Amino acid sequence: MNFISILYGLFLLSVLGIYWSVARQKLRLWTLLIASIVFYASLQLHYIPLLLVLIFFNFRLGKEIGEQATLRPHFLDWSLSHEEWHLAQFDWNRRRLKLLWLGIFLNVFLLLGFKYLLPLLEFFYPSIVISSADSFKLIVPLGISFFTFECIAYLVDVYRGAPATQEFLQFAAYKFFFVKLISGPITRFHNLANQFKNLGFLTPDIVADGLWLIARGAVKKGILADHLGIFVDLCFGNLQRAGSTDLWLATFAYGFQLYLNFSGYVDIARGSALLFGLVLPENFDFPYFSTSIADFWRRWHITLGDWLRNYLYFPLGGSRQGLDRTCLNLIIVMLIAGIWHGAALGFVLWGLFHGLALAVHRLTDAISDRFEDLENFWQQPLGTILAWLLTQFMVFTSWIWFRLPNLEDSSFVFQHLWGFSADEQFAQKVYIDALNITQYQLAILLVVLYVAMAGAYIFNRTLKLQFNWPVKLVFVPLCFYSVWLLAPEGSLPYIYFDF
């Protein structure tokens, strides 16, 4: 069931009708859970039993960790000596830690087994070919990465003192919630559980916001990202025939496609959730206007960055153990982030590159703190523009590894970014026959797209302006009609479904 389809619209309206027609919270949770199972069954029916078992396992493990946290204080149990109480507390903490590690191990093992076992076998034992990469993708449960990350976050939060839920229905509805199940945003259980308990009636503002987010996301994905994706696929699918200018255009087009594709999905997810009275976290905050790589990661895939900070970076020591260890921690975290996206070496290099960039940024910050003139330079307009150019150049060129994780292909692109001419027929086949546009016009369109994003950035972040709800409701049908009219035939898949 595609998010941008009449079928999804009818499905959403049907579920909303049932959801708001019942008053009891338990019935609403059942509605969400059953609807989510139906939604997932439309994509991958055979993995539903596995996911339900994993949800139950994490639920029970969370209860065990939470129940172990109820050890009576010593002043309430004088039957124990002071020494006996400390021994009991030690055993209690050790058992909780073992349970936590059991949960982390199982979830990570599941993720590694589905996503990386076969690629690793083929890498270390090339003579053993179990199946092709394409057929392997088909057996990976959709959303498994987001699923396991949320489970690990829940167990760690309970271990740190957050209350474990006693209601399996509530936990299952949270985990299976169809609007965020496949590609996030990564949402913490306790945030959503509190919203379940405090649902209010929908207001015109909330309904307008939800519909506007869905309509805006449909435009981002259905019109902008999919049209860019056609050119990107044509160019990166014909590397031997593309010239340097074509590769640069495809690199920038892919950066925009990836952002619009993923942020469009998140907009639809957040808009759908709002119609259920639930607020999902934002996942993007104009990342292509960042002036440092650290700022980029505060704005790009925000919930993943938050997860990496809270459950990897801080446990590794964060920035509390000196500059050298801080840089090492940043590299380790981003290396893991690269591996999380896929088993190919291109993802590993992408993560390592971003880790090194973050480490260099931290070192630059430390040096700037010692030299007042240098620190002032980065705060001046020229320094800000230079920082923005360097940041975006690093980000966009690193997307080459992301789009072409096979090192042979990505290396070919890097080697041909300068001084190579396209095949004589390439321009005719791609720009004229397929796109009906010239290379120069495509470049202008990318600039216009970025200027439009800059306008939205100024409108939202600088001027702090928002459309009121009647205006949003006017734009909603216009957006849907534009998607129906202008979206290319055969919708391209959501890129992050593979992750």
Please list the active-site residues.
341
- Give the Cα separation of 214 and 221 in Å (integer): 11
Q: For residue 100, is it within any domain? A: yes
Residues 233-251: what's their mean pLDDT?
Answer: 92
Domain termination site, one of 184, 199, 214: 199
296 and 379 share one domain? yes
Residue 398 domain-assigned?
Answer: yes
Give the pLDDT confidence score for residue 18 in this predicted structure: 95
d(CA 32, CA 28) in angstroms, rounded, equals 6
Cα separation of 442 and 427, whole Å?
12
Is the same domain home to 210 and 284? yes
**Is there a domain that residue 1 lies in?**
no
Neighbouring C-alpha atoms within 13 Å toward the C-beta of 16: 20
* 98 found inside a domain: yes
- What domain range includes position 15? 6-199
What does the alpha-carbon distance between residue 485 and residue 237 come to, in Å, rounded to a whole number? 27
Report yes or no: 417 and 246 within 8 Å, Cβ to Cβ. no
Residue 487 CA to residue 158 CA, distance in Å, equals 45
Asked if pLDDT for residue 179 goes beyond 90, the answer is: yes
Q: How far is CA 433 from the centre of its chain?
A: 35
Q: Does residue 242 sit within a domain?
A: yes
Q: Is the domain of 383 the same as that of 474?
A: yes
Q: Which residue has the higher pLDDT, 426 or 82?
A: 426
Q: Are residues 127 and 212 in the same domain?
A: no
Structure tokens at 292: 């440092």
pLDDT of residue 79: 54
Same domain, 466 and 362: yes
Whether residue 121 sits in one domain with residue 22: yes
Provide the domain count of the chain.
Answer: 2
State yes or no: pLDDT of 135 exceeds 50. no
Mean pLDDT across 488-499: 73
Task: Let me know: does 334 contact 351? Beta carbons within 8 Å.
Answer: yes
Percent of the chain with pLDDT over 90: 62
pTM of the model: 0.90
Instruction: Specify if 250 maps to a domain.
Output: yes
* Among 250, 253, 261, 294, CA closest to 414: 250
Look at residue 75 in the predicted model and tell me its pLDDT.
Answer: 44
Q: Which residue has the higher pLDDT, 25 or 129?
A: 25
Q: Interior CA angle at 398 toward 335 and 185, to 5°?
A: 65
State the average pLDDT for the chain.
88
Q: Are residues 389 and 459 in the same domain?
A: yes
User: Do 354 and 223 belong to one domain?
Assistant: yes
The pLDDT, as a whole number, for residue 83 is 64
Neighbours of 212 (CB within 10 A): 23
Residues 420 and 458 in one domain: yes
**Separation of CA 308 from chain center:** 12
Mark which of 199, 216, 240 sits at the end of a domain.
199
| Whether residues 448 and 333 fall in one domain | yes
Position 101 in a domain: yes
pLDDT recorded at residue 133: 45
Does residue 477 carry a pLDDT above 90?
yes
**Sole residue written with tokens 């998140």:** 266
Residues 394 and 493 in one domain: yes
- How many Cα atoms sit within 13 Å of 472 on the Cβ side? 18
> How many residues belong to the chain?
499
Judge whether 235 lies within some domain. Answer: yes
Higher pLDDT, 400 or 493: 400
Q: Above 70 in pLDDT, residue 82?
A: no
Judge if 194 and 214 occupy the same domain.
no
Give the pLDDT confidence score for residue 493 in this predicted structure: 75
> Per residue in 286-315, pLDDT tens?
999 999 999 999 999 999 999 999 999 999
Give the span between the Cα atoms of 57 and 105, in whole angstroms. 13
The residues near 267 (Cβ < 8 Å, ≥ 6 apart) are 213, 214, 216, 217, 220
Neighbours of 453 (CB within 10 A): 16
pLDDT tens sequence across 325-372: 999 999 999 999 998 888 788 999 999 999 999 999 999 988 888 888
Span between the terminal Cα atoms of the chain, in Å: 18
Domain end among 170, 199, 228: 199
Spatial separation of the C-alpha atoms in residues 256 and 188, rounded to whole Å:
28
Placement of tokens 């002036």 in the chain: 291
Tokens 């981003």 correspond to 334
Q: What local confidence, expressed as pLDDT, does residue 124 receive?
A: 63
Residue 74 has pLDDT above 50, yes or no: no
The pLDDT assigned to 125 comes to: 63
